[in-house]
């Protein structure tokens, strides 16, 4: 009976350990997730968020991920999305941001 008691105690101790999170661990884990800050249309018009907020994030050292995609002209039922880490970022005149990605071999 002693072995079962030890296993039950171990189970509860493990459950408590994994279910409790401190503020520091939440901060650490938040860096694992991306936050959508800005979307623009193909012609550069703002669709969501603020370009200034995006620029502020980049200036504060946040990594930049670029997403793009669309539909084929001859098949609008199939859509595609691409995401890539920015390799080089430029801010011009404090109001425009440009990002370059690595070459994609398809």
Residue 44 is predicted with a pLDDT of: 87
Domains of the chain, by residue range, sit at 2-100
Residue 88 is predicted with a pLDDT of: 94
Residue 13 is predicted with a pLDDT of: 38
Residue 23 is predicted with a pLDDT of: 43
Residue 71 is predicted with a pLDDT of: 83
Phi, psi of 11 (to 5 degrees): -60, -50
Q: What digits encode the pLDDT tens for the residues 20-50?
A: 333 444 444 445 678 899 999 888 899 999 9
Q: Which residues of the chain have pLDDT under 70?
A: 1-32
Residue 96 is predicted with a pLDDT of: 94
């Amino acid at each position: 009976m002693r072995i079962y008691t030890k296993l039950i105690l171990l189970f509860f101790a493990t459950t408590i350990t994994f279910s409790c999170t401190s503020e520091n661990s939440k901060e650490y884990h938040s860096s694992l997730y991306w936050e959508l800050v800005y979307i623009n249309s193909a012609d550069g018009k703002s669709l969501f968020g603020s370009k200034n907020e995006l620029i502020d994030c980049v200036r504060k050292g946040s990594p930049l991920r670029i997403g793009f995609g669309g539909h084929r002209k001859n098949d609008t039922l199939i859509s595609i999305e691409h995401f890539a880490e920015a390799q080089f970022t430029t801010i011009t005149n404090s109001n425009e941001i440009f990002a370059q990605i690595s070459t994609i071999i398809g």
